[in-house]
Structure 1
Amino acid sequence: MDAVVTAFGMVFNTETLLIIAASSIYGLFVGAVPGLTATMALALLVPLTFFMDPIPALAAMVTTSAMAIFAGDIPGCLLRMPGTAASAAYTDESFAMSRNGHADTALGAGLVFSAIGGLFGTVVLIACAPILAEFALNFTSFEYFWLILLGITCAIAISSDRPLKGGIMLVLGFLVASVGLSNPAAFPRFTGGNTDLMGGIGFLPLLIGMFATSEIIRYALDTKARPPIIDQPIVNVFAGMWRLTVKYPVQIVRGSVLGTVVGALPGAGSDIAAWMSYAVSKKFSKEPEKFGTGHVEGIVESGAANNSALAGAWIPALVFGIPGDTLTAIVIGVLYMKNLNPGPTLFTTNPQNIYAIYILFIFANLIMVPFGWATIKVAKRILAVPRAILMPVILLFCIVGSFAMNNAAFDIGIMLVAGFVAYILEENDFPVAPAILGVVLGPMLEENLVKSMIKSDGHVADFFERPIAGVLGVATLVVWTWPFLRIAIGRLRARQPRSAA
């Protein structure tokens, strides 16, 4: 109880509350402007966390991400341009509702059920994270090696419809992470004799470049006209929400559960959760023919899924140090920067910080309702901000944020190169998220592999001797070989009728 009381004091003080309020406004604004993603919002926020205490810094991260994911619904509904990838799944549905004169219902459903889904995911985080942390205390380098490898494998299989290109991007991330002296042997790799590369390629400028600078480049080269805003009065977004809650309780629970589970899978994230929930909603709906014509059922279920996935992604991040999505990949970097190293010991040595994170999630999802309502009321003014003014300002923040980490102009160069490379790759349908996963998990994978090889004296069988390591190892190998097994099983089934004949 002492830790809980301390956690409340850490959250509900003047500094933290002011940061929560400012982060809410910032997250809602970024999420409501098409092209400014939630990942970009967190990446630009990292330099400011240098000057914050740990809990205010995490408060900024939690609040910004939750608000930005919801706010992406607003331009999707009024412009048919999703503000974030998590809103893309039901953009056509909400835009169709707007054209039918029900914009307030579409926006209200996105707001209310995003908050409900976020609270559900937080409850699961509170219930599951300590249990998994206690379980993870038994982990050695063998278990961590297989867990990281399994997480990477599942991320490639789940988060991309182009697994080969996802695998290539993952390897690219590994190569970037291997630059410099940060390896078990402390041997300089891929530096080319450049002293600036001895410390490796900075994660923050790389992140800002891949997610923020690339969007600025895309905007500069995009000549498409901006579609007009749906011009209709938004009267009361809360009207009819109780009726929808009573009508679709199964959809709310199903979306929240699916969102939390998908969010906990490394590399999946809110966008995958939203797409899967929308597909499930249509599959099991009693009125599937109404989907795409302005039917609120899919918005209810997907809206609950996208925010519940946020809390779900924190489970592997806090317990194992494995990011559930690109947002938690950034958060892990902040945790290390604040000496709150993720892992099972975080729950035993700093329980007050864990309780503070739980409180922050609950508080962020509760204040999402009034803050989100206010944003919806002024949405047309937010969307009217000229992009020609906004983008140069964001570029300035990118440059300052990249420079602030080490006070080095070299990091600005990394940011610009990363932005151009990410833009070219995305234009050719290469997903960027696996590369970030490779940068975060590559050093962890290498470190645990080297430790395990030293312990086992090079005997591969030792990687499977411990029960947990054996299960994780077999599961990883099954995932690797499953496509080939499926092909072989299909061929055997195809031959059976001939044999019978």
Structure 2
Amino acid sequence: MTAFLEALPMVLSLDVMIIIIISAAFGLFVGATPGLSATMAVALLVPVTFFLSPVAAIGAIITCSAMAIFAGDIPGALLRIPGTPASAAYVGDTFELNKQGKLALGLGTTLTTSAIGGIIGTIVLVVAAPQLANFALNFSSYEYFWLALLGLSCATIVAPGDQVKAMMSLMLGVLLSTVGLDVVTGQQRFTYGVVDLQAGVPLIAVLIAAFAIAELYRKATSSDSPLPVPPPLSASGFMRGQGEVLWRYKSGIARGSLTGTLVGALPGAGSDIAAWISYAISKRFSKTPEKFGTGHLEGVAEAGASNNAALSGSYVPTLVFGIPGDSITAIVVGVLIIKGIQPGPMVFTSSPELLNAVYVVFFLSNILMVPLGILAIIMGRRILMVPPGTLYSIILLLCMVGAYATSNSLFDLWFLLVVGVLVWILDANDYPAGPLVLGLVLGRIVEENFMNSVLKSQGDIEAFFNRPVAGTLGAITILVWSYPLLSSAYYRLRGRRAEA
């Protein structure tokens, strides 16, 4: 508690608070813009973090992502177009509430439950992360190898759509992670004489390309007509009736918050998957499942709490093990490394003030979400009044400045455009970008720990299973790999027995 109180002045200082407020406004703007995502908002903030202190940089990212995830509900309710994937699970209900004249009730519910879910998720993060860190101090390269490999495996299982395509996207990311100098021998790999590739694929350029440039390509080639501007909104009525809603669905909100935290802690998952799972659970246990999709608040409340709780949960593997929980925390890992801070169990002893500042920022961002969220709802319609050509031109300029600022190299700009085209083509064919980014981040962790383990054991593969935790993680990973084959074989055998 003392350390937590000591971190308050670090966060509540004038310069950090100004950064947090600006980041909150930026996150609300991007999240409320259809087609843009929370990950894109964070990626665009990365160049700015180079000039900030570690506390201000992490505070900006946390606040921006939390605000963007909620703000995605605004265009979903107004136009049935979710601003972020995390809002897609319950967009039908919020839009129907708008048609019924209950827009304030619907968006007020998503706002309050998002704040509650975020706070509950942060409490779990504060309690669980230090305990897991003490446990992780006993980890060696064997445990980290299996953990990173398990993260790669889970990234394909929880990815939406075709798992085969998710696997191929993941393998492309792993392939990109091998570009540069070999982690053991120092030999050049896949550089083809290009000096700029010796340091590896530029991570920041890939992040911006995957989540911003690819989206701009899609917008440029889309024939969609301009979105209509909704009527003005009033500040009154957003909190009216919220007490009754929160009390009626209190168990669902608590369940959604815990579900979101657990799903968020799973490497490769994220807020959008957590929201879909919580919405499905809410419908499964509801006494009136037939009302879902017709403007019913039960699923909205539970899924709304889940998506922001998942954001807090994703920081558990990021801070404790250095394994990104989702694409947003993959960016966080890059920012921390740039600031000279290596995520992992040692960060709890080497930089405890930073960890406590992270907790404070999480609490603060979820508290600020309510007043700023109401303002964003009122101002949300004005985003659609900006001409698309002007809006997307500004975003493209920010992307190019951000990629160039990381290394002052024109090579990164060309790489940005090429990867943007590649991800755009992949996305058009239903290959998700998230596994690609996670493959790039986790691929090098897997390779480095594998090579270190092989050298320590002198090639003895049994050493990967000799330690209790390593053996357990190895067994879980192999089980995850085998599950699709075992499941397919089971259903085929059951089908043959039914025919007989």
Please report the TM-score for the alignment, with normalisation by the length of structure 2: 0.97
Deviation at 1:233, TM superposition (A): 4.2
1:497/1:179 Cα in 2 relative to 1: closer, same or farther (>3 Å)? Answer: closer
**After superposition, where does 1:414-425 map in structure 2 within 5 Å?**
414-425=415-426
Higher mean alpha-carbon deviation, 162-171 vs 177-186, is at: 177-186
Distance 1:497 1:380, change over 3 A: closer
Give, in angstroms, the shift of residue 4 of structure 1.
3.0
The CA distance in 2 between the partners of 1:412 and 1:26, in whole Å, is 24
1:19 aligns with 2:19: yes
Superposed displacement of residue 388, structure 1: 1.4
Structure 1 position 250 matched with structure 2 position 239: no
Q: Which has the larger displacement, 320-329 or 218-227? A: 218-227
Given that 1:265 and 1:324 are in contact with CA atoms closer than 8 Å, whether structure 2 keeps it comes out as yes
In 2, the alpha carbon distance for the partners of 1:472 and 1:256 equals: 26
- Give the match for residue 277 of structure 2: 276
* Aligned residue number for residue 408 of structure 1: 409
Q: Work out the CA distance in 2 between the residues paired with 1:5 and 1:489.
A: 55
One-letter code aligned to 1:78: L
- Cα distance in 2 between the residues matched to 1:53 and 1:349: 16
Alignment-mate amino acid for residue 44 of structure 1: L
What is the deviation of 1:481? Answer: 1.2
What amino acid maps onto 1:155 in structure 2? A
The CA distance in 2 between the partners of 1:80 and 1:493, in whole Å, is 42
In 2, Cα distance between equivalents of 1:89 and 1:494 = 33
> Which residue does 1:215 correspond to in 2?
215
Instruction: Give the corresponding residue for 1:115.
Output: 115
Superposition pairs for residues 262-411 of structure 1, below 5 Å? 262-411=263-412
Query: CA contact under 8 A between 2:34 and 2:75: conserved in structure 1?
Result: yes
1:383 CA displacement? 2.6
SS of aligned partner of 1:44: helix
1:162-206 per-position Cα deviation (integer Å, ceiling 9, x unaligned) = 111111111101111111125222111001111121122211111
Q: Deviations over 1:97-135 (max 9, x none)?
A: 101111111110111000000001000000100011000
In structure 2, the partner of 1:456 is: 457
Correspondence for 2:67? 67
Cα 1:5–1:258 shift into 2, 3 Å? closer
| CA distances 1:386-432 after superposition (whole Å, capped 9, x unpaired) | 21110001101111111111111110001101111110000000011
The 1:428–1:498 alpha-carbon spacing in structure 2 relative to 1, beyond 3 Å, is closer
Conserved 8 A contact 1:181-1:187: yes
Distance in 2, Cα, partners of 1:381 & 1:373: 14
Aligned equivalent of 2:237: 236
Q: Which amino acid aligns with 1:293?
A: T
Match for residue 138 of structure 2?
138
**What is the SS of the residue equivalent to 2:349?**
helix
Mapped contact 2:161–2:430 kept (Cα < 8 A): no
For residues 225 and 359 of structure 1, the distance between their equivalents in structure 2, rounded to whole angstroms, comes to 43
Contact 1:182–1:199 under 8 Å retained in 2: no
Secondary structure of 2:307's partner? helix
Letter in 1 for 2:200: G
Q: Distance in 1 between matches of 2:77 and 2:494?
A: 47
Contact 1:270 1:305 in 2 (8 A): yes
Q: Residue 99 of structure 1 aligns with which residue?
A: 99
- Contact 1:7-1:356 at 8 Å conserved across structures: yes
- In 2 relative to 1, CA 233–52 (structure 1 residues): closer, same or farther, beyond 3 Å? closer
Distance 2:494 2:326 in 1: 38
Q: Please give the alpha-carbon distance, in whole angstroms, between the structure 1 residues aligned to 2:32 and 2:492.
A: 50
Deviation at 1:490, TM superposition (A): 3.4
Structure 2 residue matching 1:370: 3-state secondary structure: helix
SS at match of 2:191: coil
What's the counterpart of residue 187 of structure 2?
A: 187
1:368–1:351 CA distance, 2 compared to 1 (3 A): same
Partner Cα separation in structure 2 for residue 494 and residue 225 of structure 1: 48
Task: Give me the whole-angstrom Cα distance separating, in 1, the residues matched to 2:90 and 2:401.
Answer: 35
Deviations 1:357-400 (A, max 9, x none): 00000000001001101111222112322211100011011111
1:82 is aligned to 82
- Indicate how the Cα distance of structure 1 residues 233 and 370 shifts in structure 2: closer, same or farther if over 3 A, else same: closer
- TM-score normalised by length of structure 1: 0.97
The 8 Å contact of residues 233 and 378 in structure 2, kept in 1 or not, is answered as no
Paired residue for 1:203? 203
Determine the C-alpha separation between the residues in 2 that align with 1:308 and 1:287: 25
Structure 2 SS opposite 1:81? coil
* Structure 1: segments with no counterpart, 5+ residues: none
Query: In structure 2, how many angstroms separate the alpha carbons of the residues matched to 1:231 and 1:290?
Result: 27
Mapped partners of 1:493, 1:100: distance in 2:
47
Q: Which runs of 5+ in 2 are unaligned?
A: none
Deviation at 1:269, TM superposition (A): 0.2
Aligned residue in 2 for 1:484: 485
CA offset at residue 54 of structure 1?
0.4
| Structure 1: distance between partners of 2:416 and 2:440 | 15
Note the alpha carbon deviations across 1:430-484, whole angstroms, 9 max, x for none: 0110010011011110000001111111111111100001111111111111222
State how far apart, in whole Å, the 2-side matches of 1:215 and 1:353 are: 33
Match of 1:41? Answer: 41
In the alignment, residue 428 of structure 1 is paired with which amino acid? N
CA distance, structure 1, for counterparts of residue 351 and residue 219 of structure 2: 43
Contact 1:69–1:87 (Cα < 8 Å) also in 2: yes
Give the aligned partner of residue 58 of structure 1.
Answer: 58
Change (3 A) 1:485 1:214: same
1:378 partner SS: helix
Moved more, 341-350 or 483-492: 483-492
Give the letter aligned to residue 147 of structure 1. L
Residue 88 of structure 2 aligns with an amino acid whose one-letter code is A
Instruction: Please state how far the C-alpha of 1:340 moved relative to its aligned partner.
Output: 1.7
Whole-angstrom CA distance in 1 between matches of 2:233 and 2:430: 39
C-alpha contact (below 8 Å) 1:98/1:230 kept by paired residues? no
- C-alpha distance in structure 2 between counterparts of 1:402 and 1:95, whole Å: 37
In 2: Cα distance, 1:4 partner to 1:215 partner: 40
CA distance in 2, matches of 1:248, 1:400: 46
Of stretches 348-357 and 2-11 in structure 1, the one that deviates more from structure 2 is: 2-11
What CA distance in whole angstroms lies between the structure 2 residues aligned with 1:102 and 1:78?
Answer: 11
Task: Tell me, in whole angstroms, the C-alpha distance in 2 between the residues paired with 1:52 and 1:25.
Answer: 18
Deviations 1:72-108 (A, max 9, x none): 0000000111110101111111111101111111110
The one-letter amino acid paired with 1:216 is L
